[in-house]
Structure 1
Amino acid sequence: MNMILLSIVIGEIAFWVFLFAGLLFRYVFKMKKLSTIFLLLTPLIDIFVLSATLIDLSRGAPAHFVHGLSAAYIGFTLIYGKRTIQWADRWAAYRWGAGNRPLKKKLVGKDELEHQWHEFKRFCSCMMIINVIISMFYFFVPPKQTFWFTYWIINNVGLIFIWLFVGPIWSKVKHNGKSST
C-alpha cells in the first residue's frame, strides 16, 4: 500500500477514534479533562498526514494522485472537522448525557438560499486551502512530474463551479419559482 494512502487511512481512523474516545470520556465516564485532551489531539492528525506527504515528496517520490488526496484530506478536516466534532458532540450529549435530540431544521426560501451561500463560501475556503497545499507541493518535484498537482487544482476549480450551480444558484431558481406562483 502507498505510504501516503496509508497515512490518510490512519489519519481518518485516528480522527474517529479520538473523537469517539473524547466523547465517551466526556459523557459516559464524566472525565472532561481527558475528553478535552482527546478532542484537542485531532488537529495533530493533519500535521501527521502533511508531514508524511512532504517527507514522501522530499525523498524523491514521483507526484501521484494520493499526494493531492492528502491535501484534500487536510483541507476538508480543517474546514469541516470542527463542525463534525460539534455534530458528534450534540448526538453524544443526547445519547449519553442529558442533551436534547438534535433536530435538523428544514430550510426554505431565503433561509435555504442564505444557507446555500454560506456552505458555498465554506466549500470555496476548503478548495482554497487544498489548492494552497498542493501549490506548496510543486516545490518538491521536478516540473515534468506535476501532472497530478495540476489535475487536482483544475478539478477543485471545477468542483467550485459545480457547487455554485447545484447549491446557491439552484436554490435561487427554486426560491424565485416558488415566490412567483
Structure 2
Amino acid sequence: MDEILNSPMTAAIVACEIGFWVFIAAGLLTRYALRKQKASTVLLALVPVVDLVLLVITVIDLTNGAKPNLTHGLAAVYLGFSVVFGPSMVEWADIRFAHRFAGGPPPEKLSGRAKVRKEWLEWGKCVLACAISTALLLLAILFIGDASRTEPLWGWMSLLAKVVGIWFLVGPLWHQIGSSSRKGRARS
C-alpha cells in the first residue's frame, strides 16, 4: 500500500484534482472579483487540459514499463468522471459564485418531478462516466497486452458496475419512490 500511496501516479492524480479546482476557482474569481471575462474564459478552458495532462502522464508511466496498479485504474476512472461531470461542476460553481459575488439569482432548489428528473439525468451521466472509464481501462489493458500485469485494471470494472447500481438505488429510484409516495399521501 505504501508503494501505491508514494507512487508518481498517485501524486499526478492528486495534482490534477487540485489543478482542476484551482482553475475553476481562479476562473470564477477572475470573472466575478476582477470582472475579466476573457481571462476567466481562458482559465476555465484550461480545466479539461488537466485531464489531458493526466492521460499523458498515465500513458508515459505505462510506456516506461510501470507495473499497472490501482492508481492507473483510478486515473482512468478520474478521467471518465471528470470528462462527464466536469462541465456541470463548473456550472454548479459558477451559479454559486454569481449569486455570492455578482448579485445573481440563488441556486435553484429542486423538488418533486424536477428533482426526480434531475436524479435520472445525473444517473445517466454516471453510466456515461463509467462507460468512458471502462473504455479507457480496456484501452490500457490492450495497450499493455500482458494479462499477468493487468489484473488491477480489470478489478475497476466490477467496482464501476457497483457504482452504477448503488447510484441507481440511492439516486433516481429513491427519489422516484419518494416522489410517488408523497403524491399518494397528497391525494388521500
Once the two structures are superposed, what CA deviation does each residue of 1:128-156 show, in whole Å capped at 9, x if it has no partner?
Answer: 11111111110232111111111101110
Other-structure match for 2:102: 97
1:145 alignment partner, SS class:
coil
The equivalent residue for 2:110 is: 106
Partner of 1:171: 175
1:170–1:44 CA distance, 2 compared to 1 (3 A):
same
Aligned to 1:79: 84
Structure-1 separation of matches of 2:37 and 2:117: 36
> Is 1:3–2:5 an aligned residue pair?
no
* Unpaired segments ≥5 residues, structure 2: 1-5
Residue by residue over 1:114-138, the C-alpha shift from the partner in whole angstroms, topping out at 9 and shown as x without a partner, is 2221111111011111111111110
**Separation in 1, partners of 2:87, 2:148:** 37
User: Residues of 1 paired with 2:24 and 2:170: CA distance?
Assistant: 31
Tell me by how many angstroms 1:94 deviates. Answer: 2.1
Superposition deviation, residue 103 in structure 1? 2.8
The aligned counterpart of 1:134 is 137
Offset at residue 74 of structure 1 (A): 0.9
> Across the two proteins, how many residue pairs are aligned to each other?
179
1:14-36 Cα offsets, whole Å, 9 max, x none, are: 11221121112211222211111
Q: Percent identity?
A: 31
Equivalent residue of 1:132, what SS? Answer: helix
CA distance in 1, matches of 2:115, 2:9: 38
Q: Report the TM-score when normalising by structure 2.
A: 0.88
Runs ≥4 residues deviating over 6 A: none
Once residues 2 and 53 of structure 1 are traced to their aligned partners in structure 2, the CA distance between those partners, rounded to angstroms, is 12
Structure 1 gaps, min length 5: none
* Alpha-carbon RMSD: 1.6
The alpha-carbon deviation at position 93 of structure 1 amounts to: 1.6
Match of 1:147 in 2: 151
